[in-house]
Structure formats: C-alpha cells, structure tokens
Structure 1
Amino acid sequence: MEGLSVLIHDEEKSGGICGLSIAKGEPPITHLFFTNDCLLFCRANSLKDNTLKATLEEFSLASGQEINYNKSSLQFSRNVDNFTKDVVSEIMGTCVGNQKSSYLGLPYLIGRRKYEILRIIKGKIMGRIKS
C-alpha cells in the first residue's frame, strides 16, 4: 500500500489527480488506507479519473494485487450531475453507491446532517460505556 500511496502522491504533484479539501485553506486529501480497504478522493472529472484508473492499474501490475471493482463503489457530492456520474462510473468500472452506504458503521457522506450523524455516534459510544 506504501507503493500505491507514492503513486497517488506523484500524480497529485504533477496535477494528474486533484484531492479534495474538507475546509477552505486546508490541504487536499487524496486517499485514506485501512487494513484491507482504501478510500480515494478525487474530483469527478473524466481526465482525472482516467489518471486515477491508470494509477490503480499500474499499482496492480507492479504489486500483483487485484482491485475488486465489484466490491468497490463511487460516491459523489450533490454538485455532480448525472451525466458526469455515469461517465466516471464507466471509466472506473464500478457502480455508484447508495447515498445511505456506510463504512465501518459510519456513513460515507455526512454533508449537512452533521448533528444527526454525530448524535448517532455519540449514542453508540455512550451505550458501550454504560455496558
């Protein structure tokens, strides 16, 4: 995974991939790695997504690890139109995930529902503390 991280950083430096900033003035995030999973963050743009797909294929060839596109999904912000979603989905070879999808029990997209989501998380933590 270290190799994939280097490839992604190199593409970001050269302008091939643009990460996403979570707040104005903050550095962009391109990826987060977990045990057997990877979350990638990129602008929904066919040129950038072609670069991301090529980077993933380069990683697969070099490492021998296969990416399971059947288990993968794409998430888009509300600002992305349906045509762009379809084009990006076709380029990446995976489907668009459900807006209510979650990862490790937390929703992929929080958006403006921060209070509601954080209240649910707080309730789960408080329940574990009490038990």
Structure 2
Amino acid sequence: MERLFHLIKIAEDHHLWKPIKLSKKGPPLSHLAFADDLILFSEASLDQAKIIKACLDNFCHSSGMKVSTEKTRIFFSKNIGWSVKNEISSSLGFQRTDDLGKYLGIKLHHERVSKRSLQSVMDHINRRLSSWKTKTLSFAGRLTLTKSVLATIPSYTMQIVLLPKQLCDDIDKSYRSFIWGQDSGKRRIHALTWETLCKPKDDGGLGLRESRKVNTAFMMKNCWALCSQPEKLWVRVVRAKYACGDESIPVVNKRSVASNFWRGICPAWVEVQPQIAWNVRDGLLIKFWIDRWLPSKTVLYKVVV
C-alpha cells in the first residue's frame, strides 16, 4: 500500500489530486488507511475521478492487486447534484452509497447519538449473553466473563461518543443480571448493591466499573490528547474545525451544531481543565496573569477576588 500512498502524494504535490478539508485551516485529507479498509477523499468532480482511477490503475499494474468493485462504494456529500454523482460513479465503476457502514463494529453515524442509534451495542451484549449458560457458571466465572468480555464490547464506542445515560444504565443492568445468575427473565436476589460491586477490591468491592464513568474517562483521555498530542491527525482536524486556537491548552466551547464526538468532549473538558497546570521552566510560553501555573487558581483570579 505504500506504493499507492506515494502515488497519491505525488498527485497532491503536482496539484492534481484535490483533497478535502473539514475546516478552512484544517489539514488536507486525501486518504486514510485502516487494517482492512482504505478511504480516499477528493473533490467531487469528473476530473478528480479520472485522477483517482489513474492512481489506482497504476498501483494495481505495479502490485498485481485488483480493486474489488463489489466491496468498493462512493459516498457523496449532500450538496452534490445527481448528474455529477452518476458521471463519477460511471467513470470509476463503483456503486454509490448513503451509508458508510461500520468500522470495528461501530456504525459511522450521520445523526445525533441516541439510544436507538446505538442499539447495536446493547444487541451485541445480549447476543453474547445468550450464548452462555448462566446456570453452569459459578459466581466467580460470571464475574470474570463480565470483566473480560462483556465490559470490553462497548469500550470502542465509548472512546468515540458519549453514550446516552439510559443506554449506560441498560448496559450496567445486563452486567448485574448476569453476575447474579438471572436467567430467562427470572429475578434473582442481588446480595450486594451495584455501587458496592463497583468499588475497588481494597475497599470491599469487586473491581467492576460503571459504564457512565468508563465512558467519561475515555472522553477525558481524548481531552488530554488535544493538549498533549498535537501531532496526531485527528487532533489537528478537531482543533482546526472547532477553533481551539494554537495554544497548548485548547479553547473548548459548546456549539449548537457539532459532531457527536465534540458533544462528548465538551462536558469532559469541564472536568479536565481544572486539573491542567503549566510547568514553568523558562516561562517563555506562559501568560503570567491568565495561565494556571500556581497550585490553585490563576494570578488574575486571585487579584480580582
């Protein structure tokens, strides 16, 4: 695949391939490579379709590989006319689609996150539960399966979006029911509260984790990446799209129109920001009055108060 990426880079350098930008100051996006998938981005025009086809044909000729037309799809933005869509589809020989499908089991959403849109997460957990015979498992066995299998199912989704509270409650409920041996809708006595089960073992709990807190922790991790990993592509895209500024500590504000990812970042940032402080060193990058470099508040806050 390195050969294909090299061809794309050459086409970009010669201003032949026109990549997209998610914001005016954002980085250009021409391609993204995953384990088994490749996504190409470009301006929606017949000329660009010819450039893409030339790069793919060149790569196939030199590598002996072939593009699968049955698995390849073209996704157009909403403002592209039908005639242009038809011309590009015919030129490339790929079918159009309005659904980007799933990646790592997660649907690439084009709508606001809701319990209904993420029902597949709950369905996945239920399918796994239905494949186990609860009565044949000991309490320790059910606890181990909950931690090592069930709790990992929603983890990737939790890294991307903030799950609805009701969905988190339903996930935790399925954990509780399985741990206490509830089967076929028959209620079983829960010897300990869920809050107790989620306490650390040193505090008398069993080390389970509440789904909402895990989800929030993942979002907080993303917030920290916005500060500490500016070289990452997704960080550059997000910071440019939502005008986070050029400072190490980004400006994070809620927006009426924002992606599901950003809607998860904003509430988590409220928890992360008070924990961030500057390491002074030579002081060249620190704004004396408004940056937080003291153990508590900023200097300006102390003076005003």
TM range (shorter): 0.7 to 0.9
2:29 match: 29
Cα distance in 1 between the residues matched to 2:32 and 2:91: 21
TM-score (norm. length: structure 1):
0.83
Q: Quick one: distance in 2 between partners of 1:90 and 1:21?
A: 25
The AA in structure 2 aligned to 1:72 is T
CA distance in 1 between partners of 2:2 and 2:70 (Å): 23
Q: Deviations over 1:27-78 (max 9, x none)?
A: 2100000112100001111011101101000000111111101110000001
* Paired-residue identity, %: 24
State the SS of the aligned residue for 1:49: helix
Q: SS in structure 2 opposite 1:58?
A: helix
Shift of 1:106: 2.6
Residues 1:123 and 2:163 are matched in the alignment: yes
Query: Residue by residue, what CA displacement relative to the aligned partner does 1:52-110 show, whole Å, maximum 9, x if unpaired?
Result: 1010000001111111011100000011000000000001101101x233131232x63
CA 1:130–1:66: 2 relative to 1, 3 Å: farther
Moved over 4 A (4+): 124-131
Kindly report the root-mean-square deviation, in angstroms, between the aligned alpha carbons of the 2 structures: 2.4
Letter in 2 for 1:106: K
The alignment partner of 1:91 has SS state of: helix
Counterpart in 2 of 1:102? 101
Which ranges of structure 1 fall in alignment gaps of 5 or more residues?
none
CA distance in 2 between counterparts of 1:34 and 1:58 reads 21
Describe how 1:1-131 pairs up with structure 2 within 5 A: 1-97=1-97, 99-104=98-103, 105-107=106-108, 110=110, 113=111, 115-116=112-113, 120=118, 121=157, 122-123=162-163, 127=171, 130=210
> What amino acid does structure 1 have at the position aligned with 2:41?
F
Q: Distance in 2 between matches of 1:36 and 1:130?
A: 32
Work out which structure has the larger RCO, using CA pairs closer than 8 Å and 6 or more positions apart in sequence. Answer: 1
Task: Give structure 2 stretches of 5+ with no counterpart.
Answer: 119-156, 173-208, 212-305
The 8 Å contact of residues 44 and 80 in structure 2, kept in 1 or not, is answered as: yes
Any conservation in 1 of the 2:75–2:100 contact (CA below 8 Å)?
A: no
Query: Number of aligned pairs?
Result: 125
**Aligned CA distance change for structure 1 residues 91 and 123 (closer, same or farther; 3 Å):** same
Equivalent-residue separation in structure 2 for 1:67 and 1:93 (angstroms): 10
- Partner AA of 1:21 in structure 2: K
- State how far apart, in whole Å, the 1-side matches of 2:36 and 2:10 are: 22
Q: Which amino acid aligns with 1:100?
A: D
